[in-house]
Amino acid sequence: MCGIIGIISHTPVASRLVDSLKRLEYRGYDSAGIATLDAGQLQRVRAEGKLKNLESRLDGEPIAGTIGIGHTRWATHGAPTVANAHPHATARLAVVHNGIIENFRELKAELQADGYSFESETDTETVAVLVTREMDRGAAPREAVANVLGKLEGAFSLAFLFKGEENLLIGARRGSPLAIGVGRGEMFLGSDAIALSPFTDEVRYLADGDWTILTHDAAEIFDEDGNPVDRPVTVSAGKPFYVDKGNHRHFMQKEMFEQPEVLSHTLGAYVNMTDGRTRTPKGQELDFTKVRRIALSACGTGYYAALVGRYYFERYAGIACDLDVASEFRYRESPLSDVDLALFISQSGETADTLASLRYAKSQGLKTAAIVNVPESTIAREADVVLPTLAGPEIGVASTKAFTCQLMALAALAVRAGVDRGVIKADEELEFTRALMEAPRLVNEALHLEGEIEHIARDLATQHHALYLGRGFSYPLALEGALKLKEISYIHAEGYAAGELKHGPIALIDETMQVVVVAPHDRVFEKTVSNMQEVAARGGRILLITDHKGAASGAMDGARLLVLPDMPEILIPIVFAVPLQMLAYHTAVQMGTDVDQPRNLAKSVTVE
């Protein structure tokens, strides 16, 4: 993961580097650092932990300079210490890196044998020393970098700053993203348009394998064979990305409360609000008439959205679905000959495994589509068909509004697919779309349960373990609810298909086990209630999340209840996701964890 920024300007850069790093902190927050040139000499300040630690250090020891690089780290090689923080530097240069240099051990051993020494445990320092060795042998910076790039294996984006070179920044990318920002008499390098948004909206995205030489007024770009290439300038929508928490305590809370609005925006991309017909967004045509099998793939919460997607496509469109976490899909080498469409889901559009799976599917000749939230992301740029979620920037590391918007897009697409395939008739289509239009109102009602949920969370925060159970549409929700709880509260939680309880997990049930049962009054309600009674019989502490009909059925003596409005089946995943998010959120707040930036995580996972 990690975020990179580079600036070559005529005005001081230190505070601008930090400003950009604030926008990149979603990529990692184990440490941060910047390096500049002051009268040609390398200056460097680094700090462990969050960016605010770097800011305090810079208050005490400010650094001058009109050219510099900055980095925010998600640790891969080496603990999150100052010594391992980027930029890494030698007497000749400083470098920042996102990605993993897979052959760094061999390269490091070779350099050590040549008499070079190292200060950190990182793979990145190997790159700094390799370029230094080339320069010690007489190469100029550009030649030195070009020679070294050919020796590196793995995924990387890099930005180099050279001692004595006030008009030179060099960037390179393979696997990890890097973009050039074009200014007036100044140039920028950044991990994404968000990093560049305080300075410019003119962005040139480097293609995989590209490297670039930046001066104040020009950007030369070369492909991996060293041939000069041109990459077009696109105007980025990056500026509105800088958002604040408004009146909310955390971004996650704000994002949960934005759901009614962003769900309705997303619905508008898939349903014509005047005639109630489903559609794919303009210019992104997808004809499901001949689609008989879809391969779905994503990571984390996106994977749980894909799991709901499978239920939607199979139930409403009669399309069989294969489903994989992306890190398995790309290596499983499953025969894809009978797959008609590969569909990927990603909030960030940068997740390394999902991107690699997309590329694998393309290499197998499959038509690809991607449900993405960041329109300028690599996945959005590489998929044949882009299916946007209009959730807006999601800053909290735990995904909330992006998840429900993914579900909304999937629901509408499944209905569209059903219509295309003749499984859904015109009047039924209208019924479905009328139901989908109810989502913002029902999600709003779910949000009104916040007070009650806060109360329940006080109890949950005293527990050490939780099981989440659900069947049918509620099974993916049980998985998602457990993921939300563990990632932000650090309480151990697992999700299970309710029917699987008696095949093992029931052994865990005693009076200390919190069990969250997700059971709307749907086709499988009675069966889930039976599983819940098996828990009750063994003394488990039960929270039942159901709807009015479920609550009225009276089958849940001894369970604590959270009651949502009744709703059409297609909306269950979208609306029931909300109390699960809020339960995790308020439990984490009770426990005093860092809700928006939980330990060990990052918002964009650009390493395998």
Partners of 169 in beta bridges? 161, 214
Q: Tell which positions 484-503 bind ligand F6R, by CB under 6 A.
A: 487
Among 347, 357, 378, 474, which residue interacts with ligand F6R (rule: CB under 6 A)?
A: 347
If the CB atoms of residues 30 and 487 are measured against ligand F6R, the closer one turns out to be 487
Please tell me the distance from the alpha carbon of residue 66 to that of residue 44, in angstroms, as a whole number.
Answer: 14
Q: Which amino acid is at 214?
A: L
**Of the listed 2, 299, 321, 405, which one is catalytic?**
2
Q: Taking the complex as a whole, how short is the minimal distance between the CB of residue 299 and ligand F6R, in angstroms?
A: 4
202: helix, coil or strand? strand
Partners of 543 in beta bridges? 516, 560
If the CB atoms of residues 280 and 373 are measured against ligand F6R, the closer one turns out to be 373
Q: Which amino acid is at 411?
A: A
Tracing tokens 């509004």 back to the chain, one arrives at 401
Among 236, 399, 404, 528, which residue interacts with ligand F6R (rule: CB under 6 A)?
A: 399
Q: Which stretch binds ligand F6R (CB under 6 A): 100-108, 230-238, 347-355, 591-599?
A: 347-355
Q: Tell which positions 32-91 bind ligand F6R, by CB under 6 A.
A: none
Q: Which stretch binds ligand F6R (CB under 6 A): 221-229, 252-260, 346-354, 428-436?
A: 346-354
Partners of 544 in beta bridges? 517, 561
Is residue 193 at the binding interface for ligand F6R, with CB under 6 A as the rule?
Answer: no
Q: Taking the complex as a whole, how short is the minimal distance between the CB of residue 111 and ligand F6R, in angstroms?
A: 34
Q: Taking the complex as a whole, how short is the minimal distance between the CB of residue 108 and ligand F6R, in angstroms?
A: 30
Q: Taking the complex as a whole, how short is the minimal distance between the CB of residue 195 and ligand F6R, in angstroms?
A: 16
| Alpha-carbon torsion (349, 365, 266, 326), positive or negative | negative
Q: Tell which positions 293-322 bind ligand F6R, by CB under 6 A.
A: 299-302
Please tell me the distance from the alpha carbon of residue 494 to that of residue 465, in angstroms, as a whole number.
Answer: 8
Q: Which stretch binds ligand F6R (CB under 6 A): 34-42, 327-335, 340-348, 495-503?
A: 340-348
Instruction: Looking at 318-473, list the stretches that DSSP marks H as alpha helix, in order from N- to C-terminal side.
Output: 326-332, 352-363, 378-382, 401-420, 426-437, 439-447, 450-460
- Comparing CA positions, the residue from 91, 41, 31, 83 lying closest to residue 64 is 41
In the bound complex, which residue of the shown chain has the CB atom lying closest to ligand F6R?
A: 300
State the SS3 of 114-147. Answer: CCCCCCCCCCHHHHHHHHHHHHHCCCCHHHHHHH
Q: Tell which positions 354-383 bind ligand F6R, by CB under 6 A.
A: 354
Q: Taking the complex as a whole, how short is the minimal distance between the CB of residue 404 and ligand F6R, in angstroms?
A: 12
What beta strand segments (E) does 236-299 contain?
293-298
Residue 603 known to be catalytic: yes
Q: Taking the complex as a whole, how short is the minimal distance between the CB of residue 31 and ligand F6R, in angstroms?
A: 21
If the CB atoms of residues 159 and 298 are measured against ligand F6R, the closer one turns out to be 298
560: helix, coil or strand? strand
| Alpha-carbon torsion (533, 535, 539, 541), positive or negative | negative
Tracing tokens 């959270």 back to the chain, one arrives at 562
Helix (H) or strand (E) holding 69: strand 67-73
Helix (H) or strand (E) holding 342: strand 341-346
Site string for ligand F6R, 379-398 (x = CB under 6 A): -------------------x
Is residue 1 at the binding interface for ligand F6R, with CB under 6 A as the rule?
Answer: no
Q: Taking the complex as a whole, how short is the minimal distance between the CB of residue 395 and ligand F6R, in angstroms?
A: 11
Is residue 346 at the binding interface for ligand F6R, with CB under 6 A as the rule?
Answer: yes
Q: Tell which positions 219-248 bind ligand F6R, by CB under 6 A.
A: none
| Alpha-carbon torsion (242, 243, 244, 250), positive or negative | negative
List Cβ neighbours of 46 (8 Å cut-off, separation of 6 or more): 31, 32, 33, 34, 54, 57, 82, 85, 86, 87
Among 126, 280, 351, 378, which residue interacts with ligand F6R (rule: CB under 6 A)?
A: 351
Q: Which stretch binds ligand F6R (CB under 6 A): 16-24, 232-240, 342-350, 502-510?
A: 342-350
- Comparing CA positions, the residue from 71, 7, 68, 3 lying closest to residue 33 is 71
Partners of 33 in beta bridges? 46, 71
For residue 375, cis peptide bond before it (omega within 30 degrees of 0): no
Confirm if 407 and 574 have CB atoms less than 8 A apart. yes
Q: Which amino acid is at 48?
A: E
Please tell me the distance from the alpha carbon of residue 195 to that of residue 266, in angstroms, as a whole number.
Answer: 25
Site string for ligand F6R, 248-287 (x = CB under 6 A): ----------------------------------------
Residue 2 known to be catalytic: yes
**Of the listed 254, 401, 484, 603, which one is catalytic?**
603
Q: Taking the complex as a whole, how short is the minimal distance between the CB of residue 265 and ligand F6R, in angstroms?
A: 18
Among 76, 132, 297, 348, which residue interacts with ligand F6R (rule: CB under 6 A)?
A: 348
If the CB atoms of residues 20 and 354 are measured against ligand F6R, the closer one turns out to be 354
Q: Taking the complex as a whole, how short is the minimal distance between the CB of residue 301 and ligand F6R, in angstroms?
A: 3
Q: Tell which positions 459-488 bind ligand F6R, by CB under 6 A.
A: 483, 487
Count of residues of this chain found to bind ligand F6R when the rule CB under 6 A is applied: 14
Residue 85 has what DSSP assignment? P
Q: Taking the complex as a whole, how short is the minimal distance between the CB of residue 471 and ligand F6R, in angstroms?
A: 23
- The catalytic residues are 2, 603
Residues that bind ligand F6R (CB under 6 A): 299-302, 346-348, 351, 354, 398-399, 483, 487, 605
